[in-house]
Amino acid sequence: MESHLFRSSLVLAGSLIVCSVIGSWAALSVKGQEQTIAVTGSAKKHIKSDLVVWTTTVSRQAEKLADAYKPLALDIPVVKDYLVHKGIRKEEITVSSIATQATHEKDNYGGEGGKITGYTLRQSIEVRSKDIDKVSAIAREATELINKGIAIESSAPSYYCTTLGDIKIEMLAEAAKDAKIRAQKIATSTGSTVGSLRSAKMGVLQITPADSTQVSDQGISDTSSIDKDITAVVNLSFSLQ
């Protein structure tokens, strides 16, 4: 009987020791877990384009390739002279190579057959300039050349900011500052202080027309407007003390 009580006492004592060890480990584990805070910061800035790229296309059609090429070769110098007369510098004008498209005879089902019935030749003229207002006006007025018998297609100008690379870096820094300020305010409200940075992730940049509410998961890079807004987002994680 005494032997049985002795063995039971040993088992009970061992169990208490094990529980004590486990309890101590759990307390140390909780104390060792670092508290962190994850915040999102953003920054927005208005920017103005300083480069415009505009393309216009001249085309000619004829049954024979040579008959389409001859008038096109005469049209291009006329368009270039028109642009120079409007104030575009020659070095701002680039003429592309000629694109050729054959027109085929239709079959009984409306598809194109093997016989070539004519050719369409197209040649583009690109203008790259810092004078945004001037090029924008010319893009609207270029259809005047139609009165001279030139088949011209004027595309919408594209507007760019050539200092965008530097602005992106500046905006990401501002977004990071905003994120830390948010973290500090949240930490203060809970009686904590913000410690060291634990992780950082850059979000996509949104470059939209001014005052636009457009947002995309893949980011936006608008080229249709002169005045734009750039928004940067940064996700940061800090330790709490």
Q: Is 93 exposed, middle or buried, given 0-12, 13-18 or 19+ CB atoms closer than 10 A?
A: middle
Residue type, 42: S
> For 111-137, how does the pLDDT look when each residue is reduced to its tens digit (9 = 90+)?
666 788 999 999 999 999 999 999 999
- What is the domain class of 34-48+163-240 according to CATH? alpha beta
> For 50-62, how does the pLDDT look when each residue is reduced to its tens digit (9 = 90+)?
999 999 999 999 9
**Mean pLDDT of the region 96-101:** 96
What's the CATH superfamily of 51-160?
Answer: Protein of unknown function (DUF541), domain 2 (3.30.70.2970)
Nearest CA to 150 out of 83, 100, 54, 103 is that of 83
**Domain locations in the chain as residue ranges:** 34-48+163-240, 51-160
- Percent of the chain having pLDDT more than 90? 77
pTM (two decimals): 0.79
pLDDT tier at 105 (50, 70, 90 boundaries)? confident
CA distances, 237 to each of 180, 190, 217 (Å):
9, 17, 21
**Mean pLDDT of the region 69-97:** 96
**Mean pLDDT of the region 75-101:** 96
Q: Which residue has the tokens 């080229």?
A: 223
Q: How many CB atoms neighbour CB 129 within 10 A?
A: 20
Nearest CA to 96 out of 126, 66, 128 is that of 126
The neighbouring-strand residues paired with 154 are: 56
Cβ 139 vs Cβ 54: under 8 Å: yes
Beta strands in the chain (DSSP E): 36-48, 51-62, 93-95, 99-106, 112-129, 152-154, 158-160, 194-202, 206-209, 220-221, 227-240
pLDDT tier at 66 (50, 70, 90 boundaries)? very high
> For 177-232, how does the pLDDT look when each residue is reduced to its tens digit (9 = 90+)?
999 999 999 999 989 999 999 999 999 999 999 999 999 999 999 999 999 999 99
> What one-character DSSP code corresponds to residue 90?
G
Question: And the tokens for 86?
Answer: 């409007």
Q: How many CB atoms neighbour CB 142 within 10 A?
A: 22
